[in-house]
């Protein structure tokens, strides 16, 4: 790119780099040519340690880029950074004759055939390590014309870097949240208002692959229970405050064809509801599906301590949750059905629930979602 007539193309490329950072390498080459320098780079420099890192560059030998980071960044004239957006050449910063006798000029600038440089802070969001641009001028000094051309670029480059920062922040948060979800053994499904699957964590994908308690039919999440499916459709389709309140407190017990028991919890995504998201693929809420299993001693012991259950009552509690009703529990534990009923009534009294299905939900609340 040469001359002001190419400015619109360069500005367009700068904003493209704001969306795709990989394009900055080509952009700095365009800036170098537009400004009329020998080399150009984007770099950051720690204001305390003076350690500098070059992120994108053109026109410089990689050997000298490496030397700058390893040694020479602490010797460059930018000991005190200029205000954001102000373009400064080396004589604006230090005595030029003293600079020419120093290590930075003798060991870094001169061997590259460079004499002066135009520098500008583009992004000072991080006050301790701002992002800067430098254009090395070659054998001639930076003149007013070069500063003027660079000034035409600076506002756009600054905004593009802010876009980069905003996108990186969102991606970092999204990646962290996805990692957290994938660490859970509970299956998490993000569903839209029609119960179509928007996202699932690793456990959710594994559960779908098993094709047992839930499955995806034409992109819609369905269970083996018609009643549960209707409850899900009603909860995710409605956007009223009443529906949100009901869904938050609603737990759905599910029994898979293989006999495993699960509990599903619905969590509407309030931010989507508040912002009125109505695109086809907007997630209206999350469905958390947990397998009810208290084989681990820690879960049973925690329940026993919480509700003051005796060992016999805890065994009945766990058996009701894992194998079924009174006859199955009596057979599994080798006790009379009347004894099982007696223990169950005591469990009801101590836990404050009155149905076996509620014990299943209660047990799910005590399971550890991080255990494999």
Residue by residue, pLDDT tens for the chain (372 residues) are 444 448 999 999 999 999 999 999 999 999 999 999 999 999 988 877 778 889 999 999 999 999 998 889 889 898 788 899 999 999 999 999 999 999 999 999 999 999 999 999 998 877 667 889 999 998 899 999 999 999 999 999 999 999 988 888 888 777 887 888 887 878 899 888 888 898 899 999 999 998 888 999 888 999 888 888 888 888 777 655 445 444 555 678 888 887 777 888 887 775 443 344 444 456 778 888 887 765 544 467 778 888 889 989 988 988 888 777 898 888 888 899 999 999 999 999 998 888 888 887 787 767 655 444
**Terminal Cα-to-Cα distance of the chain (whole angstroms):** 58
**Residue 138: which region, alpha, beta or left (left: phi > 0; alpha: psi -120 to 50)?**
left
pLDDT at 257: 84
Cα(21)–Cα(238) distance, integer angstroms:
40
User: Which residue, 78, 32, 77, is CA-closest to 57?
Assistant: 32
Cα(290)–Cα(284) distance, integer angstroms:
20
Q: Dihedral angle at the C-alpha atoms of 62, 65, 70, 76, nearest 10 degrees?
A: 160
Q: Which two tokens stand for residue 119?
A: 């520098």
Within 8 A by CB and 6+ apart from 152, the residues are 4, 7
pLDDT at 161: 92
Q: Does domain 4-174 have CATH number 3.10.20.600?
A: no
pLDDT at 275: 44
Q: Do domains 4-174 and 185-291 have the same CATH topology?
A: yes
CATH topology classification for 185-291: Beta-Lactamase (3.30.450)
The runs of H, that is alpha helices, within 78-189 are 90-93, 96-101, 103, 144-182
Domain ranges of the chain: 4-174, 185-291, 297-366
pLDDT at 372: 44
Q: Which two tokens stand for residue 182?
A: 């994938």
Cα(122)–Cα(229) distance, integer angstroms:
54
CA angle 154, 158, 159 (to 5 degrees): 120
Q: Please identify, in words, the CATH class of the domain defined by 297-366.
A: mainly alpha
Q: Which two tokens stand for residue 332?
A: 């599994």
Overall pTM surpassing 0.85 (yes/no): no
């Amino acid at each position: 790119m040469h001359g002001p007539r190419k400015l619109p193309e360069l500005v367009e490329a700068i904003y493209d780099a704001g969306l795709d950072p990989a394009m900055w390498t080509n952009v700095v080459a365009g800036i170098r040519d537009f400004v009329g320098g020998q080399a150009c780079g984007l770099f950051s420099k720690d204001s305390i340690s003076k350690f500098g890192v070059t992120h994108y560059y053109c026109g410089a030998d990689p050997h000298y880029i490496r030397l700058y980071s390893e040694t020479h960044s602490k010797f460059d004239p930018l000991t005190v950074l200029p205000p954001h957006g102000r373009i400064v050449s080396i004589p604006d910063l230090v005595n030029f004759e003293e600079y020419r006798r120093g290590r930075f000029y003798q060991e870094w600038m001169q061997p590259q055939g460079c004499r002066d440089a135009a520098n500008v802070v583009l992004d000072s969001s991080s006050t301790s390590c701002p992002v800067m641009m430098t254009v090395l001028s070659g054998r001639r000094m930076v003149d007013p014309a070069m500063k003027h051309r660079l000034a035409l670029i600076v506002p756009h480059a600054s905004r593009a870097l802010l876009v980069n920062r905003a996108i990186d922040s969102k991606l970092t948060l999204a990646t962290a949240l996805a990692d957290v979800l994938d660490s859970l053994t509970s299956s998490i499904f993000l569903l839209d208002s029609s119960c179509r699957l928007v996202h699932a964590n690793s456990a959710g994908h594994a559960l779908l692959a098993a094709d047992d308690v839930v499955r995806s039919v034409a992109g819609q999440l369905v269970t083996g229970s018609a009643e549960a499916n209707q409850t899900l459709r009603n909860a995710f389709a409605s956007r009223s405050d009443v529906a949100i309140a009901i869904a938050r407190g609603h737990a759905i017990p599910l029994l898979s064809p293989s006999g495993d028991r699960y509990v599903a919890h619905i969590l509407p995504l309030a931010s989507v509801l508040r912002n009125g998201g109505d695109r086809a693929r907007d997630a209206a809420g999350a469905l958390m599906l947990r397998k009810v299993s208290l084989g681990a001693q820690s879960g049973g012991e925690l329940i026993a301590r919480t509700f003051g259950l005796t060992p016999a009552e805890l065994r009945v509690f766990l058996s009701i949750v894992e194998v079924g009703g009174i006859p199955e529990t009596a057979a599994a534990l080798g006790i009379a059905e009347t004894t099982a009923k007696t223990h169950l009534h005591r469990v009801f009294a101590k836990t404050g629930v009155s149905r076996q299905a509620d014990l299943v939900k209660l047990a799910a609340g005590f399971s550890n979602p991080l255990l494999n």
